[in-house]
Amino acid sequence: MFLEPIDFATMYKEHKGATDFKGKSADDWSAKAPEMAPRMIRSPYVETFLSKMEFSPDDTVLDIGCGPGTLALALAKKVKKVIAIDYAQGMLDQLHIHAKQMGIENIETLHVSWDDDWSALPKADIVIASRSMEVHDLEAALSKMSVHARKACYLTYKVGGSYVDMEILDFIGKSIIPKPDYWYIPLILYQKGYLPRVDYIETERGSIAVQSEEEFVTSLRWSLGALDDEQEHKARHYYDKVIAKESRHPKPFNWAFISWKTVG
């Protein structure tokens, strides 16, 4: 493939360890779940993701990092069964609430994380991981997906290495080591013998929906972990100058949509 062998799996681990973006805890996501659920479930992202998949009414789907049912609820109406797993119990609780409201009964939920033992986890025709691959060992995660999929896998991963618009980071004087970009995924998959396909989904950033300066600053704290006094002052100035007065919102997110067949 290359003139000299390149260990992309190890490169990813080193990059992941160096990045300033650290994953949220299960408790963090559980606390945020009630606020997130209505917006995520109704997002245009859902139909775009599903439109890029191949599935039949007889298929079973394993949804890894299912969140509040962002894809699971929509898929359950189109396939035989969805097995939805997440490491945040609060997300699973929201999925149950919305499934009951919609009269959906073919979703099984399991409190399971990427790092858990998956030996008892049933295989499925299709495995998906939507915006949920903030893992320390990417190669192991991709292997788990592939082993559990009888037909194909589909995932999305952030393009660009930052959840915050770089223009905002520059404005507030926040320098970062970005997270690993999506290209590690197709390269690792190719080295393991798969032929991944790459497409893209564009979505609005979370901060585009904020209605106030305080919500904007809170969203930055959530993404960056913390702001010092000067950075917070500049963030408030950015909101007033750019978002409120110029109505110029942060650039949309781009998600890499990566798929690969596990048979043939």
In this prediction, residue 219 carries a pLDDT of 84
Question: Cα-Cα-Cα-Cα dihedral of 19, 147, 203, 15, to 10°?
Answer: 10
Which residues face 111 on adjacent strands? 86
In this prediction, residue 218 carries a pLDDT of 87
Task: Supply the pTM of this predicted model.
Answer: 0.90
Domain 8-163+175-206+251-261 has CATH 3.40.50.150: yes
Confidence of residue 50 (pLDDT cuts 50, 70, 90): very high
**How far is the C-alpha of 241 from the C-alpha of 248, rounded, in Å?**
9
Mean pLDDT for 13-36 is: 92
**Per-domain residue ranges of the chain:** 8-163+175-206+251-261
- pLDDT tens, position by position, 189-211: 999 999 999 999 998 754 445 56
The region of weakest confidence among 23-32, 40-49, 95-104, 204-213 is 204-213
**Does the pLDDT value for residue 245 go beyond 50?**
yes
In this prediction, residue 1 carries a pLDDT of 67
Q: Residue 63: which of 256, 204, 78 has the closest Cα? A: 78
Amino acid letter, 66: C
Q: What is the mean pLDDT of the chain?
A: 92
For the beta carbon of residue 121, count every other beta carbon within 10 angstroms.
17
The alpha carbon of residue 7 and the mean position of all alpha carbons in its chain are separated, in whole angstroms, by 24
Contacts (Cβ under 8 Å, ≥6 apart) of 101: none
For the beta carbon of residue 120, count every other beta carbon within 10 angstroms.
8
Phi (first) and psi of residue 90, to 5 degrees = -60, -35
- Collapsing DSSP to helix, strand or coil, 246 comes out as coil
In this prediction, residue 165 carries a pLDDT of 86
